[in-house]
Structure formats: C-alpha cells, structure tokens
Structure 1
Amino acid sequence: MSRPIAIAALVGAGVMVSLFWSQSGLPDVFLAASPIVIVLLLMTLGHKSAHQAGPIGWAIGIMVGLAGFGLTIDALWVSQIKGLLISGFVLAVLWPALLLYNLVAQGGGIDALAHALEALIRDRGLLLIALAWAFSGMLEGLAGFGLPIAIVAPMLVRLGVDPVLAVAAVAIGHAWSVTFGDMGVIFQTLIGLVNMDASQLVPTAGLLLGMACLACGLSAASVLGHRDRWLVVFSLALLMGVTQYVVAAIGLVSLAGLLAGFAGTLGAVAVSVSQRGVTKPGIAGNPDPKDVRPAWSSVMNPRLGAALASYGALTGCLALIATVEPLRETLQRVVLRIRFPEVETTSGFVTQAGFGQIIYPLAHPGTAILLVAGVSYLICRNKGLYAKGSGRKAVAATWKSALPATIGIVTMVGLSTSMEHTGMIQLLARTLGDIFDHTFPVVAPFVGILGAFATGSNNNSNVLFAQLQQTIAVLLGIAPGVLIAAQTSGGALGSMIAPAKIVVGCATVGSNGKEGDVLRLTLPYSILIGLAVGLLALALSFRP
C-alpha cells in the first residue's frame, strides 16, 4: 500500500472511530486524548517523523473536534490562524538560527569551538555533560525557542556523539532552564496570567526547578553514557540551582536561567582545571585515558574567533533588547497583532475574544539572529574564511533541514490550537484533577508536560493551564503557588518531548525522520523527572 493511501486510510479510520465514539456514550476524555495518543504512537512505535505524524494527528484532531466536540467553522478558522501565528513566532527563530549555524559551520567555526571547549574541559565525559546540560541551559536563558538544541546538538555530534543521542541529551539537559529562560519572558507571562507577585512564586518554583536541574543533569549524563560522573553533576547542580534561585529571588528573573547556566559552565571548567589534566575514557573514537587535549593557546584561530564573535554578538544583541528598556520600547513600537472574535462550539465551549500570538518583529530574537548571520557572513567572506560557494551551501543546508521541520511545527501547533478551542485539552486537565483530588500536586507537572507537548512551548502550556491550576488549588485548599510552580516546572520538562523542539534538533544534525527515535529516549526521562517534581510539590502542599 502506498504511503498516501495508508495515510488516507488512517485518517478515515480516525473519522469513523470519532463518529462511533460520539454516539457510544463512552467518556469524552478518551476521545479528547486520542489525537495526542496517535501522534505519540506514530512517532514512537511507528517510527514516523514529526512532519509525517503531524499532518495525520492534525487531520484526526480536526475530525475528532467536529464529530465529538462540536467544532464549528468559526472556531476552526480562528484556532488555525492562531496556530499559524504561534508557528510563525517559532519558525522566525528556527530558520535564522539554522542559517547562522550553517554559515558558522561552513567557516569552520563549529569545529573550532568544539576543539576549544575540549581544550578547556579535558575530561571527555564532563565536557559532553557540560555542553548538553549547563551550556545549553545558559543558551536557553538567553533566547530559548529551540535555539539551545539547534546550537549544542551539532557540537556534540562534532565530538563524536551519535546524532539521536546528541539531540536527546540536549533536549533533556536544557529543560531545567526553560521557566526562567528567554530572558524571563515565560515567567513574566506566567505571573501576569495568575495575577501574582513574583516573590510569591519564585521560592516554590526555585525549589522545584532545582530538583529538575539535578535530575536533568543526571539524565543527560545517562543518555551520554557517563553515569559515573554523578558526583560532579550533583555538585554542579547545587551551584546552578542555588544561582538560579538567588538571582530570581533578588528580582533579576530575566537573568536567572542565563547566569545559572553560565555558573555551571564555569564550574565544569574549574573542575577540569582542578583535575590537572587527568582525563577519563570517553566516547567511541577517543577512548584513550592518556589522551591530552591541546592547550588553549594552540586552538585560538580566526575561525574560532569568528564563531565566538558571531554568537557573542547575538548574546549582546539579545541582552540589550531584554535589559535596555528604552531600546526595547522603541523596537516594540512595530507590532503584529490580530484580535480574534469570541467563538463557541455547538457543545457550548466558549473561547473568549482576544489577541492571538503578539509578535514584535524588530524585538523578536529571530531578527537579531538574522542580522548577526548577515554581518557574520560579510565579515568572514572578507577575511577569506569561506571557500567558494559556502554561502550557497549554507542556504541549501538550511532549506533542506528547515522545510520538513516547518511542516511538523505548523501541523503540531494547529492540532494543539484546535484542541484548545474545542475544550479537549482543558477536559484532560480537569479529569486528572477529579481523579487525583488532594494528591493532585503529583499530577500537576504532568498537566504542564501535556501542554508543552501539545503546543511545543512552556509559555503556551502556562497560557492554557495556569489559571486552571490556580482554580483547582483553591477548590482543593492547596496554596495556589504550589500548583502554579508545578505547572510551569512541568511545562519546562515538556520541552524534552515537545515535537517542535525535537524537530529543530534533528534538523540541525541532519537526522530528519529520526524524531521518533529521540522521543523514545526522552519520554521515559520526562515521566520520571515529572514524578520527582510532583512528589516534591506534594510535600510542599502540606506546608501550613
């Protein structure tokens, strides 16, 4: 059977099941979960890529909404236009980030940067862990939107790590930094949603994310095959967790993730220096424990300088936009904002009128990335760092990687917005609350994980579920801050299984179609870490 016929048959089967279910009297919650379950099964057991599973899940989600949840034409078009805005927001980072990476790679900068980090961190296992965990967390604190995976996963591949393992390790490793990442945008959005002062939420969120930081580090080490570095991971996790907590607690939320990741990276360098050049066996291809990495001075070269200048300039641009209020206000005067009408399904679920994803084109990270990419290309070309045709090769590599990624992201987000506008996602969360009652804090992170999986974003997960978690907390007599902190912590952990981010990672390492393999690795870790965070949230809920 050809692939188009097989896909049509699967979608048709989904429609028939939806029609039968809507007339059977069986619980709607199972029907609501079916599109997400189908996507998971296709990507894990069916070995389908995101750009294959996404359209199927999207089609089935629409049919389930029409047959079982009263999706109307108005609700459909509103949900899909909102989804396109969200997708555009993400893709405006993905395409420039891939272009910048490919330009730097064509100039030899990625190889040079990898060799430089080898010179600084001579313990091979510690080097890989630090990149996948601390360095990626620092980048998440800076920009987010999948950028850490897009940058760090290829570096791990350059160091000899299998591409699937590289994407999985970074997806897991960076998750702890997501809530306080993106210069604090996610956390600021969260406190605005629930109308709470940051000081009410930071202590609990800091504790839960500190637990997540340790668990993400240990899990990344496990994926990379370096469980024996657990003591170093524990020490660095303490440093990073405390740094994030203190920086957020003193009011510098926008810098908490960035400085915590930076502290962890410096800590890894300090540990390496303290070992006085003693190395340990590492990954296949470089197993010799007597291997001595080159001195720092021997790896400093124009290619490394160009790579550091490119990403350093990007860091500076994004930091200026985030911290200089007059500059940000000026850039944000240009705004793309669409107000949508109130829509209602035939079953009575109402989505209030309001704006979709608001985009500030000049202040968007993608604009800064594109600007840096253009300037970097011109400078490196004038310095003779590019071979003939390098620019065309970079553009071609970007197109090849980004196009299937775009299909996966657009369809996955379209699925999530259709589920949101029919009440399907909200129904799943409420059902979990009814089932678990006062043990709900254990489940609260999984609601966040569900939202991040469906939307590809901790921020969007919080938009969907933060107020619902707050309402459940009041009904159950639990401090709202506990469930809200658990929600956003779960949303951060959901980054390791969000198809949109996995697609970005696989695209940058040339493993399009391997997203299901990555998901099979990251899914168990997201569940285990989510359970650990949930148990800690449960313990905190008993506080007077």
Structure 2
Amino acid sequence: MSFTQNFTAVGDNLALSAIVALIPILYFFWALAIKRMKGHIAGLTTLGIALFISATAFKMPSGMALMSASQGIVYGLLPIGWIIVTSVLLYKLTVRSGQFSIIRNSILSITEDRRLQALLVAFSFGAFLEGAAGFGAPVAISAALLVGLGFNPLYAAGICLLANTAPVAFGAIGIPIIAVEGPTGIPALEISKMVGRQLPFISIFIPFYLVIIMAGFKRLWEVTPAVLVSGVSFALTQYASSNFLGPELPDILSALVSLFALTVFLKFWKPKTIFRFKGEVELAAASVEAIKADTPSYTKKQIFHAWSPFLILTAFISIWGIPAIKLAFTGHYEGSNSLLKVINCLGEALTFMPEVPLLHNKILNDSGEAIAANYKIELLGAAGTAILFACIVTKYMAKLSWKNCFTLMGQTLNELKFPIITISSVVGFAYVTNASGMSTTLGMTLAKTGALFPFFSPFLGWLGVFITGSDTSANLLFGNLQKITAMSVGMDPVLAVAANSSGGVTGKMISPQSIAVACAAVGLAGKESDLLRFTIKHSIFLVILIGIITFLQSSILSWMIP
C-alpha cells in the first residue's frame, strides 16, 4: 500500500487544508502558553492530535502515521536526547570536581556585570558551540554556565535561546546552508553570501536587544561601548567569512573574534555601575575591585585546568565535524587514509539505518516520487558521543572515581526523563506533519501571498524551524518551495532561499525541541510553558524584522543580492 501526499486534502481547498493543518500547532501554543501544561504532556497530546488529523483529514493510513512518529521519536532520542544527556553530565562533572567555582571566578575576573556576562557566555561562547556542534549543545551548556554564575534558571534559558538567534543559520559547520544546495540547485556559497548580508544586521542588534531585555534602555547606555564591540566584531566577521570563505566557519570565527575582542576591551574599560539582578547588591565599579581583592586568586594554570573540560569538548566536537572524519565515524569514508579506514570499519559497525516498516518508499510526493524513510542511528558519529569522550577525559583530569561518574549519570538520566519524553514526542509530531503533507500545505499557503511574498518568505523558515526544531530540516522542507515561488513572483531565488534560513533562526527559540532542551539543561523540567511565554514575543518581533529586511532587499536594496 502506498500513500500520495495531497496538500489540498480537506475539501480540495488549500486554505481549508491549511487551517486544519494548523490545529496541532495552535493546540501546542495553547497548551503551553495559556493552559501551562507540563512539556511532556503538551508534547504527547500534540503528537496524538497530529496523528488523528493526518489519518482523518489528510487520509494518511494510520499505520504509516504511527511509523512516521516512531521515526521522529528515534531521532529525538539519538542524536538530540543523547546530546542533552552528555552535555548536562559534563556540567555536573565540573561541579562535582570543584572546577566550576574556578570557572565562575575566571568569568567574574573579566566582569561581574550581569549584562556583560550574558554577552560573553550566551552570545559569544554559545555561538561558538553552535558553530561546532549545533542541535541542543549551545543552549544546554551556556545556560548551565549562566546558572552556575548565579543567573535565575528560567532567565538563563531564555537569554541563551535568544542569543542563539545570530549563529543558527551557519550552525554545525554550515550544515543548514550546505544541505539546501541539493534540493534547490543553488550553490551553497551563493546562499552563504546572501545569508551573510542579512544576519549581520541581526547579529549587531541581538546584543543590544539582550541588554534591553535584561536591564532596560537606560542601563543599556552604560555598557553601549562593550555591546558595540561584541556585536560589531561578530557581525563584521560573520559577513566577511560567509562571503569569502563559505558557510562552514562563520559561527566559529565570529564567536572567537567577538569573545576575544570583548575580553580584551574589558581589560581597559569598565562600566561605572555594575548591574546585578533584583535581590543582588548593586555596586560601583570601585567597590567591585575591593571585593575582588578579598576573593581567592587562581593561577593561569589553575584557570586553564578548570576550563579544560570545555576546551576538550571543543576539540572533540571540532574533530567530529571534520568532513572526512565525520564520514569515517558513520561508515561512509571512501578515501585512502589507513587510520580513517580502520575508524570507518568501527563506524560502519556502529551505524544502523534500518528501513522504517510500512513507511520506507511507501509515501509518494506530489511528483509521484517515493520518499525513503530510515531510522538513523549513528552511535559513533553522533555529536553526543563526542561530548561523552570529553566527559571521560574530564573524569581522569578531575580524578573522579567511576562510581562518582555513574552516580552522576544516574542523576542526569533521572532529571532528564521527562524532557526526553517531551523532545521525542515533539520530533515525532514534526515527522508526522512532514510525512502527511501538513507542513507543505502550510508552506504553500504562505507562498500564495504574491507581491508580499518577499516579506513573508522568512516566515516559512520560521514555521519550518518551529515544527522541526532545525534550520537544516526547515531548509530541506521549504527550500525548493521558496525557489519556485520566488521565480513565479519575480523575486530572486537566492534571496528567497537565504530568507528561509535567516527567518528560521528566529523560530529556534520557540521550537518545542529547543524549549525542552533549555529547560532540561537548567533543571526546569515541567516549566516549558513559562519559557515559551518568555520567548514567543521576541521570536515574532525578530521574524518581522527579517521580513522587512528581505522585503527591502528584494526592492530598493536589490544591489545587496550577490
């Protein structure tokens, strides 16, 4: 039995079909933002509603719908759930070993100002992790660091989700942009150039926006020089690297330049007043210097040793991201290097791609082409495995016993059981909406906006990332639709495809996956509704901003298109 996707399944009417397809999404927003359900309950019930609608309204055989959900659930467990478990474990290891107190003091030695700490950790360090690993690692690790510094857990999670906007399009060594080259036929470098002429505006704006959210307009002026150094250095590097090097390195280079520039700048400049949260004592800069004199001082060697778990993490993630090694870890290396050949054998043995029963090549798209469906289980090649290796090295460096490590792992799994259920259910929901054709129905409806399509083009990416939790998936889902629609309305296809990726970054902070990951990392399982209420208004504001930028670039700023 096969199933042909029908994007006008309800009453043979696209608008009516889109309204029905929107029901699970609206329900999810209602469940979290209004009803304030716990994340795992909202996720499971949303998945149930999506299954019901796919079978009744979109006429997808129920067995196929269930198997598409199972495919998503497996992906939610590995690689996404695996990344979260290992990231939280690494953080717990640094705390148990006592090294995190040194990390905390090393950041405080740069600045005790909460506004500037957010820029260093959430914006710059988070962007570096996004460029190296992607998925949930940047938010999980940077949010945990902020909590360790004394940030309110919910606030830390929200700040990191918002800060993560700037780097998402070039995340995981540029995979979102590299991936969309296939279905669109547009060279990745051209898309990279266009995204690099959109997101730098957002990259300059985000540090200002973060400080305004944290402290208000008045307190922004106190740190404007530092905010400019952080945002402008990031944006200029992002533009230059994306336009002249390609999509692989913009995040890593921009993050390093921004982190270094702000750290050096703060050696010579200090705000007059050190901003702290309500309940903390606000101090003048001179008072802070006096307090520092009374706090324990650590040698450079001690500070380096304390930060080493995250340096090791960076090294492992970078190694896992090298194309040839990545291929070997997943059993797809075909080169001549002897060592990589040996690794390839191990990677092949630890990579499983079984066909999804009832689903593989059983779904036909509107062109009559069969869609492959496989469970993707890469035990060695997963980013979470790179983080696990960092945990193992950290265990030896911190001289922790295996008993300690296994105890911490047990605590981590116990704390994350509900967040992992949330993540798996919402990824299952995403797979059901994609397989049934509901996602494409929504995309085709937005594409009917005609002359206003340049403005609404980023909203497709925003919708795609909200549903799938991934800019890569959103680009694969809507990239070709963007290209075809752009050509029909007289918009440059490169601009439309780039807008899909740029708009998608603003959907990351409200994606159910991201919300669940952030809450899990800071110990707020069950508080997903509070985090969504914090991020949703910022998400909508930023996607409108990118819509305006795209609209202007399609008309009076068309000279910016490569």
The normalised TM-score by structure 2 is 0.85
Letter paired with 1:268 = L
Secondary structure at the counterpart of residue 341 of structure 1: coil
Aligned residues: 517
d(CA) in 1 for partners of 2:300, 2:411: 25
Do structure 1's residue 444 and structure 2's residue 433 form an aligned pair?
no
Change (3 A) 1:445 1:477: same
Letter paired with 1:439 = L
Equivalent of residue 374 in structure 1, options 376, 392, 398: 392
Shift of 1:74: 4.8
Letter paired with 1:527 = I
d(CA) in 2 for partners of 1:130, 1:226: 19
Aligned residues of 2:316 and 2:389 also touching (Cα < 8 A): no
Equivalent of residue 337 in structure 1, options 349, 353, 361: 353
Q: Which residue of 2 aligns with 1:218?
A: 208
Q: Which residue of 2 aligns with 1:414?
A: 428
1:35-54 superposed matches below 5 A: 35-54=24-43
d(CA) in 2 for partners of 1:195, 1:121: 47
Q: Which moved more, 1:509-518 or 1:329-338?
A: 329-338
Q: Which residue of 1 aligns with 2:554?
A: 541
Shift of 1:407: 0.5
Secondary structure at the counterpart of residue 254 of structure 1: coil
Equivalent of residue 58 in structure 1, options 19, 22, 47: 47
Shift of 1:140: 0.9
Q: Which residue of 1 aligns with 2:543?
A: 530
Secondary structure at the counterpart of residue 464 of structure 1: helix
Shift of 1:302: 7.7
Aligned residues of 2:226 and 2:266 also touching (Cα < 8 A): no
Q: Percent identity?
A: 23
Q: Which residue of 1 aligns with 2:18?
A: 29
Q: Which residue of 1 aligns with 2:532?
A: 519
Aligned residues of 2:40 and 2:422 also touching (Cα < 8 A): yes
d(CA) in 2 for partners of 1:157, 1:311: 16
d(CA) in 2 for partners of 1:351, 1:66: 21
Change (3 A) 1:252 1:430: closer
Letter paired with 2:523 = G
Q: Which moved more, 1:223-232 or 1:412-421?
A: 223-232
Secondary structure at the counterpart of residue 198 of structure 2: helix
Change (3 A) 1:541 1:400: same
What is the CA deviation profile of residues 259-311 of structure 1, one whole-angstrom value per residue up to 9, with x for unaligned ones? 11111112221231121585523223141122226379913488744442211
Q: Which moved more, 1:80-89 or 1:159-168?
A: 80-89
d(CA) in 2 for partners of 1:95, 1:187: 27
Q: Which residue of 2 aligns with 1:503?
A: 516
Letter paired with 1:520 = R
Q: Which residue of 2 aligns with 1:361?
A: 379
Shift of 1:245: 1.7
Q: Which moved more, 1:67-76 or 1:170-179?
A: 67-76
d(CA) in 2 for partners of 1:276, 1:344: 60
The normalised TM-score by structure 1 is 0.88
What is the CA deviation profile of residues 127-151 of structure 1, one whole-angstrom value per residue up to 9, with x for unaligned ones? 2232221221111111111111111
Q: Which residue of 1 aligns with 2:445?
A: 431
Aligned residues of 1:170 and 1:220 also touching (Cα < 8 A): no
Shift of 1:508: 1.7
d(CA) in 2 for partners of 1:235, 1:381: 39
d(CA) in 2 for partners of 1:471, 1:446: 16
Change (3 A) 1:52 1:415: same
Change (3 A) 1:486 1:359: farther
1:57-456 superposed matches below 5 A: 57-87=46-76, 88-225=78-215, 227=217, 228=220, 229-230=223-224, 232-275=226-269, 279-284=273-278, 285-289=280-284, 290-292=287-289, 294=292, 298-300=297-299, 304-323=303-322, 325-333=323-331, 334=348, 335-339=351-355, 341-344=360-363, 352-356=370-374, 358-381=376-399, 390-434=404-448, 436-456=449-469
Letter paired with 1:225 = A
Letter paired with 1:79 = S
What is the CA deviation profile of residues 424-461 of structure 1, one whole-angstrom value per residue up to 9, with x for unaligned ones? 11111111121x21211211212111111111111111
User: Root-mean-square deviation (CA), in Å?
Assistant: 2.7
- In the alignment, structure 2 segments of 5+ residues that lack a partner are 1-8, 332-347
Q: Which residue of 2 aligns with 1:17?
A: none
d(CA) in 2 for partners of 1:124, 1:497: 24
d(CA) in 2 for partners of 1:356, 1:214: 41
Secondary structure at the counterpart of residue 245 of structure 2: coil
Aligned residues of 2:457 and 2:499 also touching (Cα < 8 A): yes
Change (3 A) 1:46 1:218: farther
Aligned residues of 1:215 and 1:529 also touching (Cα < 8 A): no
Q: Which moved more, 1:516-525 or 1:212-221?
A: 212-221
Shift of 1:257: 0.3
d(CA) in 2 for partners of 1:429, 1:391: 46
What is the CA deviation profile of residues 162-182 of structure 1, one whole-angstrom value per residue up to 9, with x for unaligned ones? 211110000010121011111
Q: Which residue of 2 aligns with 1:463?
A: 476
Shift of 1:349: 9.4
Secondary structure at the counterpart of residue 176 of structure 1: coil
d(CA) in 1 for partners of 2:270, 2:527: 39
What is the CA deviation profile of residues 75-111 of structure 1, one whole-angstrom value per residue up to 9, with x for unaligned ones? 3144224313421221221221121121122222333
What is the CA deviation profile of residues 355-414 of structure 1, one whole-angstrom value per residue up to 9, with x for unaligned ones? 5464543232111111111221133126xxx8x964354223311332111100111011
Aligned residues of 1:50 and 1:513 also touching (Cα < 8 A): yes
d(CA) in 1 for partners of 2:63, 2:47: 17
Shift of 1:466: 0.9
Shift of 1:348: 7.7
